[in-house]
């Protein structure tokens, strides 16, 4: 549950996280509780009621938060690439007429969710929060199975393109990576060699994480100087 609380803006977490932790500790969290937390995080970004301190707003994400964004982007990307390789190597089951991609399918779903979390944590401002949250919700929808997973998968891809367009105008190369991911995903297919399309998609996510991670030394030095 603490991971879901990380989806909330930092000012909200600083004010309410301890209180919410106490409430959640009183009883096991239900699926509805988890959904409400994700929905609440979306609302907290779209309708912020807790103002960020001026210094925090000016500095943007701290080094630790940026490290989480970079790490989850790289991890999710590697999971997606592994899913593509595993699906391509899985033989067709002639009896049922399709590939039984249990493990590979699980890697794909987890990869979508982890990269969706990375997108949400890395979002800055309402314009990026909406598509990033849509990506995460799309990834979560793939847990529902056929045919709802198709809706979630396409929502993830479309939101990725939109996020890429927004980031392209603001920060260049990372936006191009997001657009490439979203454009490539609809051509993915588990039943033939198109499963390998997950490999470049995963590598693009990993590269985006590396780009974010490369900014960490500069942020650390700036923080040290400020002290």
Q: What is the DSSP string of 152-212?
A: HHHHHHHHHHHHHHHHHHHHTHHHHHHHHHHHHGGG--TTSGGGGGHHHHHHHHHHHHHHH
Are residues 28 and 110 both part of a single domain? no
| 55 assigned to some structural domain | no
pLDDT in tens, the chain (227 residues): 566 777 777 777 788 778 777 777 777 777 777 777 777 777 676 566 655 554 444 344 456 778 888 999 999 999 999 999 998 888 876 565 566 778 888 999 999 999 999 999 888 777 889 999 999 999 999 998 888 889 999 999 999 999 999 988 776 678 899 999 999 999 998 888 899 999 999 999 999 999 887 765 443 444 344 34
Are 42 and 66 in a shared domain? no
This prediction's pTM: 0.68
Q: Are residues 25 and 92 in the same domain?
A: no
Same domain, 65 and 116: yes
What whole-number distance in Å separates Cα of residue 123 and Cα of residue 162? 13
Tell the residue number behind the tokens 């969710």, with chain if given. Answer: 113
Taking only the tens place, the pLDDT of each residue in 80-132 is 999 999 988 888 765 655 667 788 889 999 999 999 999 998 887 778 899 99
- Verify that 134 and 173 share a domain, yes or no: yes
**CA separation for the pair 132, 129 (Å, rounded):** 5
Co-location of 41 and 139 in the same domain: no
Residue 164 covered by a domain = yes
Per the domain annotation, does 166 fall within a domain? yes
Which tokens hold the place of 124?
């800055």
* Helix extents (H) in the chain: 2-5, 10-25, 31-46, 54-59, 63-89, 102-122, 126-141, 148-171, 173-184, 198-213, 216-226
With respect to residue 112, please indicate whether it lies within any of the assigned structural domains. yes
- Cβ 183 vs Cβ 162: under 8 Å: no
Distance of alpha carbon 76 from alpha carbon 121, whole angstroms: 14
Residues of the domain holding 83: 60-219
40 in the same domain as 66? no
Give the number of domains in the chain: 2
């Amino acid at each position: 549950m603490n991971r879901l609380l990380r989806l909330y803006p930092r000012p909200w977490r600083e004010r309410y996280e301890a209180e919410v932790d106490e409430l959640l500790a009183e009883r096991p969290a239900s699926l509805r509780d988890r959904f409400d937390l994700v929905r609440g995080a979306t609302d907290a970004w779209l309708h912020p009621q807790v103002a960020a301190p001026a210094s925090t707003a000016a500095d943007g994400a701290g080094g630790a938060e940026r490290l989480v964004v970079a790490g989850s982007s790289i991890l999710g990307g590697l999971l997606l690439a592994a899913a593509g390789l595993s699906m391509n190597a899985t033989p067709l089951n002639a009896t049922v007429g399709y590939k039984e991609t249990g493990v590979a399918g699980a890697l794909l779903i987890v990869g979508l969710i982890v990269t969706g979390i990375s997108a949400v944590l890395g979002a800055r401002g309402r314009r990026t929060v909406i598509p990033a949250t849509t990506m995460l919700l799309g990834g979560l929808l793939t847990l529902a199975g056929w045919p709802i997973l198709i809706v979630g998968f396409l929502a993830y891809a479309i939101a990725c393109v939109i996020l890429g367009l927004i980031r392209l105008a603001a920060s260049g190369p990372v936006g191009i990576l997001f657009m490439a991911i979203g454009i490539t995903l609809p051509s993915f297919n588990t039943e033939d060699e198109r499963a390998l399309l997950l490999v470049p998609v995963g590598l693009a996510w990993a590269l985006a994480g590396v780009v974010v991670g490369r900014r960490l030394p500069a942020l650390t030095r700036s923080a040290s100087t400020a002290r």
